[in-house]
Amino acid sequence: MTMTTYNFSAGPGVIPEEVVTQVKNEFEKNEHTQLSIMEISHRSGTFQNIIFDAEQKLRELMAIPDEYAVVFLQGGGSLQFEMLPLNFATHQQNVALLDSGNFAAKAGEAIEALGKKLTVIDSTKQQHYQQLPSLPSDFNADDYDYLHIVTNNTIEGATFHQNNLPVTSGRLVADMSSNILAEPYDINTFDAVFAGGQKNLGPAGVTLAIVRKEWLDQQDITGVGPMMRYQNHIDKQSMFNTSPVFSIYVMDLVLNWVAQQGGVAEMHRRNLMKSQRLYDFIDQSDYFSAPVATEERSLTNIIFTTGDLQNDKAIAKQATQEGLFNLAGHRSVGGFRASLYNAQPIEAVDALISFLQKVEK
Ligand code: PLP
């Protein structure tokens, strides 16, 4: 009998079973074109249809108005840390940051490396990022080109949900790499949003950026190279250079899967159920604990520990023998991290809880 296995990796994360099956079929050469999906040109009609469909699906799923451009890029979330300041930190040359975790800090480093000013408005580093930083009431948005936040902190597990987002009169940029399409956000709250593909959108290799067109129009970016300009990618419908064809193809299938399942509202319902079931177990346990402040807990990256990092490591290793993969926390924090992205079935959570119960006993 083959063992059922589950992948709790934080990214690249689990892809819906149905999508994996579809992709397998497309590896064969198409009888008309004699090409497999890995070989088609980004200039072909087949790909034009795919990328057009992906953009339309995303616009529908996230209710993205026409005032925003949607582009599919490469370089991961990390390149967005640089493209954003290059395109938008042009007036004050000063970016405000809420330091909520490792990926917020990394974005800050990139901003400074580009010679822009970084102002950390609040940081919860001293609290091991187990709670969110906040905007003080005297925050003066006019001093900054934008405020950078990370909606979901993939490593540490604290989340700005729509109802606890910082409220600013200025421009707001959000890194949604690890919770895009996992819970609803009102896109109108933001001036730019980005996400690497490899968690909730599909495989690694494609990065999504959504930018408010009117903000882009206000920029003088003399000296910024052509590949780093959003406008060039927008003008060429994400085909300014060779697109990551395969990654976009799989992303399109994933977006269609999300739509068929009932959209972001249904993903949110499932993610609340999955994460709550796991947090409930952890909270009643005398052995495991979840350190993040309750109302700020992530729906997609569930962080917990026994309090003994060596012990956690041994347990995560034991879990792999039972088909529960990639439960070890990020190397910088240790402990456990169970990533419950959209494609993670509830059965994975049940299997994990059964295993943890056994360990506790
Ligand atoms: N931002 C967040 C919230 C992430 O979780 C990650 C990666 O896990 C990144 C940015 C960096 O993304 P990439 O590795 O695609 O550059």
Q: Is 241 annotated as a binding residue?
A: yes
196 lines ligand 1 (CB under 6 A): yes
From ligand 1's centre to the CA of 84, what distance in Å?
15
15 lines ligand 1 (CB under 6 A): no
Amino acid type, 356:
L
CATH of domain 26-260: 3.40.640.10
352's tokens: 């994990």
42's tokens: 């980004």
Is residue 136 reached through a cis peptide bond, with omega within 30 degrees of 0 on the bond before it? no
Angle between the N-to-C axes of helices 245-261 and 45-62, in degrees from 0 to 180, rounded to the nearest 10: 40
From ligand 1's centre to the CA of 196, what distance in Å?
6
Residue 144's pLDDT is what? 98
From ligand 1's centre to the CA of 145, what distance in Å?
22
71's tokens: 């582009």
Fold of 263-360: Aspartate Aminotransferase, domain 1 (3.90.1150)
**Dihedral angle at the C-alpha atoms of 339, 344, 349, 350, nearest 10 degrees?**
-160
Residue 283's pLDDT is what? 98
Residue 35's pLDDT is what? 83
264 lines ligand 1 (CB under 6 A): no
Q: Which residue has the tokens 């992948």?
A: 7
Q: Is 77 annotated as a binding residue?
A: yes
Q: Do 26-260 and 263-360 agree at the fold level?
A: no
Residue 329's pLDDT is what? 93
Burial class (CB in 10 A: 0-12, 13-18, 19+), 195: buried
Residue 333's pLDDT is what? 86
- pTM for the model stands at 0.97
Determine which residue's CA is closest to atom 15 belonging to ligand 1.
76
In whole angstroms, what is the distance from residue 339 CA to residue 346 CA? 12
Encode pLDDT of 292-307 as tens digits. Answer: 999 999 999 999 999 9
Give the Cα-Cα-Cα angle 104, 250, 59 (nearest 5 degrees).
65
Q: Is 198 annotated as a binding residue?
A: yes
CB-based contact 251:205 (threshold 8 Å): no
Ligand 1 atom, smallest distance to 176 CA: 3
In whole angstroms, what is the distance from residue 91 CA to residue 62 CA? 30
Domain boundaries, the chain: 26-260, 263-360
Q: Is 154 annotated as a binding residue?
A: yes
219 lines ligand 1 (CB under 6 A): no
151 lines ligand 1 (CB under 6 A): no
In whole angstroms, what is the distance from residue 240 CA to residue 11 CA? 27
131 lines ligand 1 (CB under 6 A): no
Q: Which residue has the tokens 């947090």?
A: 279
Residue 14's pLDDT is what? 96
Question: What ipTM was assigned to the predicted interfaces of this complex?
Answer: 0.99
End-to-end CA separation in angstroms for the chain:
27
DSSP 174-232: EE-TTTTTTS---GGG-SEEEEESTTTTSSTT-EEEEEEHHHHHT---TT--GGG-HHH
| 254 DSSP assignment | H
238 lines ligand 1 (CB under 6 A): no
166 lines ligand 1 (CB under 6 A): no
From ligand 1's centre to the CA of 158, what distance in Å?
15
CB-based contact 37:249 (threshold 8 Å): yes
Ligand 1 atom, smallest distance to 80 CA: 16
> Which residues does the chain have with pLDDT short of 70?
1
Determine which residue's CA is closest to atom 9 belonging to ligand 1.
77
Determine which residue's CA is closest to atom 11 belonging to ligand 1.
77
